[in-house]
Structure 1
Amino acid sequence: MKNSMTVAAVVLALIATPVLAQGRRGGGGGQDKAADTKPKVDEKAYKAALDRIPEPKEKYDPWGVTKPADAAKKPK
């Protein structure tokens, strides 16, 4: 009887440990300070930077490396 109570106590302790770890919150508001130090985004400068990016002359093919160049020219 004493042995089964010990096993039951160990099983309950093993089950309860992850539950307690998930419920803990640490830091006490450390995320608020990090959000304040983040630089502000200037929408005008962002749009101006996007306008300075040149348009590509050829369309980019991400799978072009995997297939040979002759395969695109051959009709099926």
Structure 2
Amino acid sequence: MIQEQEEQYFGIVENGLFNIRQREPVDCDQVRLTSIPMQAAQTPESAQIDLSNYEGKNIQVSGRLSGCWIFSAEVNNE
């Protein structure tokens, strides 16, 4: 099985959502983060990452963007 490589996203947390700052267009400017992989048999909401500790801060996130979610998400730095 080939595993897709995770991408890096940069942005700021506002109102509990991650606002992606990218040159390339994305489906949603504001996304939510979940720790589960894309193909998991559960909803992304069940493992949503609470971003309240990062409110107003610039962060870097790794994961796989799909729709308005970043799956297998990890906050890498502030």
Q: Which TM-score band applies after superposition, normalised by the shorter structure?
A: under 0.3
Query: When the two structures are superposed, what TM-score results if normalisation uses the length of structure 2?
Result: 0.15
Q: Which has the higher helix share?
A: 1
Normalising by the residue count of structure 1, what TM-score does the alignment of the two structures yield? Answer: 0.15
Q: Which has the higher contact order (CA 8 A, sep 6+)?
A: 2
Structure with the higher strand share, 1 or 2? 2
